[in-house]
Every structure is written in C-alpha cells, then in structure tokens.
Structure 1
C-alpha cells in the first residue's frame, strides 16, 4: 500500500446537492431566510428561530451554555 499526498490524488468534486422541494413562494429555506429572526434574551444576538415563535429564545451559544449549566446541577 502506497501513501500519496492529497495533491497527487486529483481534484475533489463536491457531492451533488439534492433537489429542493419547491412550493408556492419559493423553497422552504428561502421562506425561512425571509422571515425576521428573534433576538436572544440573554445576549441579544440573532437566533435561529423566527420572531413569531413564543417563549424565551436563545442563540446557539447561550442554548449550549444553558444546557451545560442544567446538566451539572445535580
């Protein structure tokens, strides 16, 4: 078995992307991107959640930190 550098193996090609589900008003991702996003209640950063979603919304960083705090609170 011979080990060759990655450059000798030839160019890498990206995997083909699956076709997107098109419905009225564009793809689901386009509709999600167009909706306004809620701000995190702890730090004020933009979250992944739409502004219309009820509850106290956290950004991914604050969600992770909150999960760490609650996981260790024996």
Structure 2
C-alpha cells in the first residue's frame, strides 16, 4: 500500500487498523516499522548533534506512546 492511499482512506474516515487489516497488512508489523522509521530519523538527529542523547531518548519514548495511541484509537 502506498502512503498516499493510506492517507486518502484515513481522510475518508476509515480507522487505521481497519485500513491495515483490509489491505492484509499486519498491525504489529506496521507499528514496528513505523517506530523503526521514526527512530532512524531521531538517531540521525542525535548523530548530527541536533539532539542530545537524553532528547533522543525522550523523543523515542514519545514516538512509541503516540504510535500506540494511534493503534488504540483505531480499534
């Protein structure tokens, strides 16, 4: 599924979990990949000196919590 397709369906009012399931995408794998992608960007920010280690840790935790809330709101 393309990002644009996902965005369209969400804007149409469909729940994220329902869109994933109808597309036969594992919610668990989607959650894991989403967190991985955000973490990669945070790590790049830390490596470039834009974020401290503590800021990166805080952001990673916030991302995990936000992604979890997206999944629970969608149920």
> TM-score interval w.r.t. the shorter chain?
under 0.3
Higher RCO (CA 8 Å, separation ≥ 6 residues): 2
Q: Answer 1 or 2: which has greater helix percent.
A: 2
Please give the TM-score of this superposition, normalised by the length of structure 2: 0.26
Higher share in strand:
1
**TM-score, normalisation: structure 1:** 0.26
